[in-house]
Structure 1
Amino acid sequence: MGGIDVANGVAGAVIGMLFAVLFQQPLQDAWFRLRGRSGRALRTLRRRDESSPAWRTFSLGPLQTSALIVEGDGETPIPPETVFVHVLDEEVRLPEDMAPWRDEVAADSERVRAEGRTPVWNGPRYAVESFGISRTALDETPEVHLRLRPTDYYTFLAAQQLDRRLPDGATPRSRYLDPGEPLRAPAFLQCSFAVNVAVVTADDMLVVSRRSDRVRMAPGVWNSSVNEGLSRHIDSSGRSAPDLHAVCRRGMREELSLEPHEYTVDLLAFVLDVERRHWSAHYYARLKELKSTDLQERMSRGVADRWEHQTIDYVPFRPAPVVRYMMREDRVHRWAPLAPALFHLALVHAYSRTLVERVEAQILRRL
């Protein structure tokens, strides 16, 4: 019996070794696959149970921005006659614990002037009191109601210090802003409204500008073709409210030396930079006859605001070249927050959302 037991033990050991060699790895692989599928299923169930915010900022793969498209999809322009701008009389005032910050900006500007350097110009501006959207009764065309208050550039610079500590340890961002309600903010934190324009030449080249290193806000980043802020001094005649299309035309003239008869223009969207509280009207402009070489020659003969740009690129205005350009390693993290959404909307306006999103998905898969 002892010999039989030994023989059985040896046979069992050999069979066990063969089983381990033949089946251990496949069993382990099957177990890992089962565990992976179970984990993915559980994560999917959790996502279904979680709430998702209705408002999301514009993103395109690794290109993440703080631009929130509030109104407009690019395909259908917003008619200028449905945009109503109201200017309130009372000027914006900073809270008592933020008012000294404006004094610091003014004092610093005077010190720079005394040293013979270029001070910050305290231009008269507008702050956004509120932004409202409704629809017309018959065709549901969007109606935009923009309410503004007077302010100035020093107040804007003081209010841009959103993460600076107040005496009680809070910051303006933590005290006055709710990430869950991005459209609600006090007017003194929204002292910026601008127009941003995507300009396309007659030979289908998109104009992309790089901001000068000399500008105070966002120096050196890549930006829209034209960026122009509302000015109380220039854009309001007497007590009348500013006209956004007129501001767009002023920006085209001052930054690219273009006159209104040389292009067509469409208002595509209203967009908010939720990180810095900058509002923008996004426009698409198409040059009628001037090609990219013509525009370069025109600008060589003088531009009113040449100092605002240090570089201008011309990109073929088709979905694939523009998206690849935005995703370039030396561009993807160097954009002004509102520019990528503008170029996306301009492509949608020219080529349709279906085509543009298909091209974007193809390019993202290859990254």
Structure 2
Amino acid sequence: MGGIDLANGVVGAVLGMLVAVLFQDPIQNSWYRLRTRSRSAVRNRRRREESSPAWRTFSLGPLHTPALIVEGDGESSIPAQAVYIQVLDQEIELPSDMVGWWAEIEEENTRLRAEGRAPLWNGPRYAVETLDISRTALEENPEIHLRLRPTDYYTFLAAQQLDRRLPDGTTPRSRYLDPGDPLRAPAFLQCSLAVNIAVVTADDMLVVSRRSNHVRMAPGVWNSSVNEGMSRHIDSSGRSAPDLYAVARRGMREELSIEPHEYTLELLAFVLDIEKRHWSAHFYARLKDLTCAGLQERMSRGVADRWEHQTIDFVPFRPSAVIKYMLRADRIHLWAPLAPALFHLALVHAYSRTPVERAGAQIVRRMAD
């Protein structure tokens, strides 16, 4: 009896080993797949379909702006010959129920002039009719086609009242703008075209300016190194179309007293402030020999448009330093809408995208800890 039990035990052990060898891996694999599918099913049950617009405005961690980068990624510059500008003949006209707003602005400045106070000069400007982007057939390089129309500063100020009520209870924003199609807007709401420049000194310091409290638009905010609006009177010779690079060089001269031979200049992007409908050509300027100290000394001897700025900061032009500066508690809510995107594009142009994105992710992660 004991021999039979021993034989049965041996046979059972052998059969058990055989079953384990033959079926252990398939059973474990099946169990693993079952658990994985169960976890995936739970996660998928929690998930819902999401839809996101293809066009998103510039953001960096907790910093959110209304700046929409329409063309340009920072890594490649846009050559001057790739930008085509056409000026149309017909001047901008405001809708009939907004014409009174223009008249109010004229009346206010007539009163200021009569009182001996400084009025706002109704300078000739350009409005953006359309900005179209295409690619060349072989290299797929960008081509930008800008169509402009004549306008004036009072029209710009009237059109900036996007949330003022019209007689029918609507606003210019609700009547004429579609949030789902940010690139489409009537030209009378787009009477602002400017250049913004990120200037880096020869010793790698980024110039950051704070707008004066005395300027009409966006007083007291931190802004690009140079911000220059396009003037129909100054920037067009006769009937010729304006040149964006020439506008940028004028801004460098008037705001920082720097001459064209002292720097290199590259066009990085076209950007739109979707809240105010301000268009900008974003440039990067690198000073050849002028250092931070040299620039400050130069400016001490006179600047044409000194009144536009109340403070200038110099920030080490490194990804971590610039990003930390942009996210500082005393800066993050005081940026001009288009400036953070400009500085980020300049970093990408100088260092390439990967190290800039890595530095930004590390800083944002540390802020969240």
Per the normalisation by structure 1, the TM-score is: 0.88
Q: 2:327 maps to what in 1? A: 327
Superposition map of 1:265-280 within 5 A = 265-280=265-280
Counterpart Cα distance in 2 of 1:215 and 1:344: 26
Letter in 2 for 1:151: T
How far did residue 42 of structure 1 move?
Answer: 4.1
How far did residue 306 of structure 1 move?
Answer: 0.4
Q: 2:105 maps to what in 1? A: 105
Letter in 2 for 1:157: L
How far did residue 58 of structure 1 move?
Answer: 0.1
Counterpart Cα distance in 1 of 2:144 and 2:353: 23
Q: 1:171 maps to what in 2? A: 171
Counterpart Cα distance in 2 of 1:346 and 1:314: 15
How far did residue 183 of structure 1 move?
Answer: 0.4
Q: 2:218 maps to what in 1? A: 218
Q: CA RMSD in A?
A: 1.3
Percent identity, aligned pairs only, is: 77
Matched, 1:315 2:285: no
Letter in 1 for 2:312: I
Counterpart Cα distance in 2 of 1:256 and 1:169: 45
Superposition map of 1:143-162 within 5 A = 143-162=143-162
Q: 1:262 maps to what in 2? A: 262
Q: 1:125 maps to what in 2? A: 125
Superposition map of 1:54-203 within 5 A = 54-203=54-203
Q: 2:230 maps to what in 1? A: 230
Superposition map of 1:286-325 within 5 A = 286-325=286-325
Instruction: Could you tell me which runs of 5 or more consecutive residues in structure 1 were left unpaired when the two chains were aligned.
Output: 1-36
Counterpart Cα distance in 1 of 2:68 and 2:278: 10
Counterpart Cα distance in 1 of 2:45 and 2:212: 50
How far did residue 50 of structure 1 move?
Answer: 2.4
Q: 1:239 maps to what in 2? A: 239
Letter in 2 for 1:192: S
How far did residue 62 of structure 1 move?
Answer: 1.0
Secondary structure in structure 2 of the residue aligned to 1:98: helix
How far did residue 41 of structure 1 move?
Answer: 4.7
Larger radius of gyration: 2
How far did residue 116 of structure 1 move?
Answer: 1.6
How far did residue 239 of structure 1 move?
Answer: 0.2
- How many residue pairs get aligned? The number is 329
Moved more, 108-117 or 219-228: 108-117
Instruction: Could you tell me which runs of 5 or more consecutive residues in structure 2 were left unpaired when the two chains were aligned.
Output: 1-39
Counterpart Cα distance in 2 of 1:60 and 1:313: 21
Counterpart Cα distance in 1 of 2:277 and 2:148: 14
Counterpart Cα distance in 2 of 1:252 and 1:81: 21
How far did residue 112 of structure 1 move?
Answer: 1.4
Q: CA-to-partner distance for each residue in 1:9-37, whole Å, 9 max, x for gaps?
A: xxxxxxxxxxxxxxxxxxxxxxxxxxxx9
Counterpart Cα distance in 2 of 1:54 and 1:39: 29
Q: 2:357 maps to what in 1? A: 357
How far did residue 117 of structure 1 move?
Answer: 1.3
Per the normalisation by structure 2, the TM-score is: 0.88
